[in-house]
Copies of this chain bind each other. A is one copy, B any other.
């Protein structure tokens, strides 16, 4: 599923052009992105929670040189699936 599919779903609920739905999806993603960058947690009940987390780990590995490279700084966005998303059936 890509952005087009999401816009498609939006079109089913909102009788509008594809371009409009696409803009809406793009706007929403950007708003959420900005909220996360601002450090805000996005909590959607029944879906999941996006939470910005400061990264404590400070080392990686360079595949070329095979040497440990110190990861300078950074944060990670953690997505915690909600209850309904955890109810995944396993065959």
Contacts and interface: CB of A to CB of B under 8 A. Distances in A.
Given A24-B10, A88-B52, A88-B74, A40 B1 contact: yes
B75 A1 contact: no
Interface in A1-27: 1-3, 5-6, 9-10, 12-14, 16, 20, 23-25, 27
Number of copies: 2
Nearest to A24: B13
A35 B2 CA distance: 10
Given A1-B35, A1-B41, A33-B85, 11 more contacts: A2-B42, A6-B31, A9-B27, A10-B24, A10-B27, A10-B28, A13-B27, A14-B16, A37-B87, A50-B79, A78-B79
